[in-house]
Each structure stands twice: as C-alpha cells, then as structure tokens.
Amino acid sequence: MTAISAAVDRTPSVRTVTSRFLWKECRTLWPLAAGIVAIAAIKMAFLSRLPGAQGEQASWMLAGAWLATVVFAVAAPVVLFSGEREEGTDQWLLGLPSHPTGLALGKWLAVFTGAVVVLATLWLWGVAQTGASLSESNNYQAICQQGLCTALEAACWGGLASLLIPRPLAAAIVGVVGVAVGAQIVLLLFGRDGLASNLSAYQEVLPARLAICLCLGMVDVQLTRTWSRTTVWRTPGRRAGGVMPLAESRLRGWFVALDRRLSDGRRQYVRLLWQSWRFSWKRCLGVVMGGVVLMAAGEGALMQLLHAVLPISGSPAPLTLLLVPALLGSQTFFIDQQGGSLRFLGERPASPRRVWLARQSVTLAFALAVTFAACAALIALTISRSGDLHNWTINIATINAAHPVADLLVASDSQRAAQLATERVWGTLTYTLRWALCATFAAHGIGQLVSLAVRQSIAAAFVASAATCAATLWFYLVYAWRLEPVLYVASIALGAYAATFFQVGNWLRQRKRWTRGADLAIGVIAPVALILATAHFARWLQLRGAPLNANFAHEKCQRESSPLLAAGKRLFDAYLTLHDSDQWQHSIAAALPSKRFESAVDAFEMGAGFGGMEDNSSGEMMMASGTMTDSGTPVGEFSM
C-alpha cells in the first residue's frame, strides 16, 4: 500500500509531463489543422489555375502556405488556453500531479509542431499543383523570411491574448489586432518610409520585429507556467434587477402564453426555441460586435501579409465581408457541444429535427438582421451623398458608363435617359440584394456545418472563417459574371443545411457511424459538383450572347440604350479627330442616324460633357443653315 501511495503521490518528471501534454494538445489541435489545410488546399488549387508565369504561380503557392500557417499560429494558442478556460479544463488540471515547465513545453511544442505540419503539407501540395519546386518562386528568400516572422508574431500575440483573456472570441480578436497593428507600429517607428506597405519596407524592419517576438515569447512562457493556477474573472451570476432581466422575463411570459395554445409537437419546438434564445442571444450579440472588429483587423492582417510576402500594391476586394454570418453559424450548436446539454437531449424524447430547427432559427435570424441592416445603411448612405434618389440614379448611370458620351445621352433625351438610369440602378440593386442574401445563407450554412463537425467553439469559428473567406472568392466571381446567385451561391447553403439536418439525430445520440462523415462530405461535394458542372457552360453561353445574365433589367437597359450610346460615341470620336478639317461636318453627319443628328447638335450647343470642354471658341458647334435629307446627306453650309 505504501509503494502504491508513493507511486501516486510522486511528482512526474518534466519529460513525462511534456510528452503527455504534447500528445493531449496534438489531439486537440488536429481538427483545426485539418480544416485549415483543407481550405488552404482548395484556395491554392484555384490560384494555380490562374494564368501567369511559373515563378508567379510558385509565389502564390508559397504565400498561400504561409498564410495558412499564420492562421493556425494565431488560432492554436487561443484553442489551448482560452478554449480550455471556457470549458473548465484549467480547474481540472489543478487536481493532477503536474509540472509547470512540462505544461508550458508541451503546449507550445504542440503549437509549433502543428504549424510545421500545416506548412509542410501545403508546401508539398503547392509543389504538386505547380509541378516544380517552390524555391523557383520570385523573391523566395524574402517570402520565407517574412512568412516565418509573421507566423512567430501570430503565435506570440495569440498566446499573450489567450493567456490574459478567458473569452476565446475576445482573445482571438485581440490576437489578430496585435498581428495587424504591431507590425504597422514597428514600420512607423523603425521604417524609412513610415507606413509604406511593400516587401522592401518589411525587410528593413525584420530585426526589430524578431526582437519584439523574442520579448513576447518570454512573457508567454512565464505566463504559461502559472496558467492553470491563475485565478481569472469568470461569468458572474445574474442580477435580480435591471433592464435586461425585465425584458427577458417578459419575453419568457410571451413564450409561456404561446406554449399553452400549441399542440405537442409545436410546443416542443417553442420550448427548444426559448432555450436556444436564452442561452445564445448574448453570445450572438457579442459575436456580431466582435465580428465587425475582427473583419477590420483580419483584413488589415491579410493585407499586411500579402504586402509583406508579395511585391503587390493596392488592396483587393475584402475577403472578410461575410465573416459575421460565418461566426454566427459556427456558434449554432455551441450550447449542445459544451456541458451536458447534448447528453440531456439525447436521453429525452426530443425530436432531432426540431432541435436542429430551433438552433438554426436564432443564429440565422441574427445573420439576416445584420445583412439587412448593412444593406440598408449602404443604400441610405449612397442616396444621401447624391442628394436625392433621382440624382443618385443619374449619377450611377453616368459613372458606370464606359464613355463620357453618357452626358450626351442625358442632354439629348433626358426623359428616356432618366428612365433607363432608374431601370439600370434598380436592376443592379435588386441583383445585389439577392446576391447578398444568398451569400449570407451560404456563409451561415458553412459555419453551422463546421459547428456540428468540430466540438470546440473557437476552433469551429476559425475554420468557418477560413472556409468562408475561400468561398467569398467564388461569390465575387458570381457577382462579376452576373450569374444567378440562387443557383450558384445558395446551393452551397442548401448542401450544408442538408448535411447537418440528416446527421443531427446521430450527433445528438452520439452514435458514431461511417455515414456521418459520408453525409457531411456529400453535403459539401454535391453543390460544388453542381456548380462546376454548370457554371462553365453557363459562362460559355453568356459570352456568346445568350440571355443568361441574372440582372435582366440591366440587360434590357443596355440593349435599348446601346444604339444611342454607340452613335454618340461615333460622333464624339469624329469630332475629336476631324474638328480641324473642312470636311468634319460631313463625317459627323455620316456617323449618326438622321433622327439623332439634330439632338446631337443641340447637345453640342449646350456644351454637354466630353471631358468638361466649356470653351466655345474651340468646342461649340453652331448650325448656320441647312437641313438633312432622308439619306442623312447634309444640304447647305456649316460654319464655326
């Protein structure tokens, strides 16, 4: 008995504790690593199909591999520290014989091991896509140096935020903000050109960034040694008074009154809906506010990394546009994944389909509310800057014109121009709203699919965010081609919702079957296969004049206004080319139909458009005498 007690009470060695924690944390991080690798592989496969030289493609493959490594480096510490605090694992570790140094070494070795595995896997994938070594890429050494430095910064800032902040989402936001802002501060303090975002500027401040990483790493290691023994602020109990408890009690009374008037099946759904709302609304509200901050910080960090590893300038379209719906979707099954809620529902006769519908209703309602609010704010801001709705439509029509002859259109036929402009703007607006709605459903669908597959909420949030950023590239392409978003965007959401709908029963009862992975895979593969099978053919027909454009009002407007715009363009080109010639009047008369010639002359007399030419001595055309015959031949003389 004494020998057994001595064996139990003996403090394990540092090597033993390190190996145990390394194994435990690697098992915790593998879903995060697998999700990031899969999403990055899809994006790299897409980039490899773009035209470009072999060196440019290798640079994009290398940048994609380092970008995925940076995402994993900032997410892994948040999962291991803030995520375990949220689950209460840190309190469980207090009762185990452990060693602070072994705990710190095990956790950080797991972070760096996972980062190396992610980088190596994507490196090999990039070689397979390009068919050549990535060392042939342009600026190979500089890209690797900047990628390694950014990954170290991500790990240090993510670790510091997760060690100090017990909330995973807040820790992730602070970590991403630290990565985005920290490098900019170093550029401002030590760079020659201030905030110049290019590869050479980041190369100049590389030693300063590495020194800051070293200091942050030392602080992280020291905080990790005392991590499980540090008392943190946790969620306090509910207060008896206040506005929110009063509103919640009134809402609960409304649910109770509704519950009494419904049948058994609907009553069960109402109760599940109330449970979902009660435990999710604060979290969803925090996700919305944090997601807005994370959109700005994430976009800044992404642009910083691209400018640091690639010789590019400017900013592409924002990839974090749908981050808030994706984060809301990743929290759909959070209340069931944590605690004993999953086992509780599995042991009761609760309908899995009603559980699925109740969980989806709350987070999807928040996502749609955010989308409609953002669209309404954007439309109101645009209209207010144009003065009124009529001026807004005219301005948009003029801005979108491919030639300044749009001013001629307004001057020569103002009533028809206003009608065409209104049809064009409202057609584009209707298509944009439909696209935004379908994209919101798709982002939320991706998030809720990841929420069912990944147990930890913060890991699910990172994987869902990365997947949505990759899907946003396709959404932008659908919008640029004006394809139907219901078919080419909403189908992704339909597949994701169908996958979770058919698997929620096995998930609630914790039945591990091979069909679970098959259903989830089919939910992703089926819509992608449909898109790949039809999008290429639809685009091929579209380029050959087939009316496949989803914005039919815009197509109609373009068809009706194109003859007048083309005639005006011919007039303008003839005027610029032949205005010094004695025969320029005859060229202008031949360039326009006879019915439009007089209105075009009136437009010139009014000084309309054409790059702001207001000088009457050189730009004003006056008709002295003469008429037009039916064939368009001028009779009489013209003079300037």
pLDDT tens digit sequence for 124-141: 998 888 777 777 776 778
pLDDT of residue 632: 38
Residue 360: phi and psi, rounded to 5, are: -70, -35
pLDDT of residue 62: 85
Spatial contact of 213 and 191, defined as CB atoms under 8 Å apart: no
Distance (Å, rounded) from C-alpha 154 to C-alpha 175?
A: 7
3-state secondary structure of 622: strand
Compute the average pLDDT of residues 268-282: 79
Structure tokens at 163: 């060690």
pLDDT of 110 over the 90 cut: yes
Q: Could you identify the residue written with the tokens 């145990």?
A: 20
**Degrees to nearest 5, angle at CA 445 with 444 and 449:** 115
pLDDT of residue 69: 92
**pLDDT: is 308 or 147 the higher one?**
147
Query: Which conformational region is residue 165 in: left (phi greater than 0), alpha (psi within -120 to 50 degrees), or beta?
Result: beta
Sign of the CA dihedral running 491, 492, 495, 500: negative
Distance (Å, rounded) from C-alpha 331 to C-alpha 279?
A: 11
Lowest mean pLDDT among 67-76, 113-122, 183-192, 595-604: 595-604
For the whole model, what pTM was predicted?
0.70
Lowest mean pLDDT among 66-80, 388-402, 521-535: 388-402
Please, what's the b/e burial string for 222-238 (b: 16 or more CB within 10 A of its CB; e: otherwise)?
ebbbebbeeeeeeeeee
Compute the average pLDDT of residues 151-164: 91
pLDDT of 574 over the 90 cut: no
Question: 3-state SS of 539-564?
Answer: HHHHHCCCCCCCCHHHHHHHHHHHHH
**pLDDT: is 200 or 549 the higher one?**
200
pLDDT of residue 619: 36
pLDDT band, residue 97 (cuts 50/70/90): low
**What percent of the chain clears pLDDT 70, i.e. is strictly above it?**
60
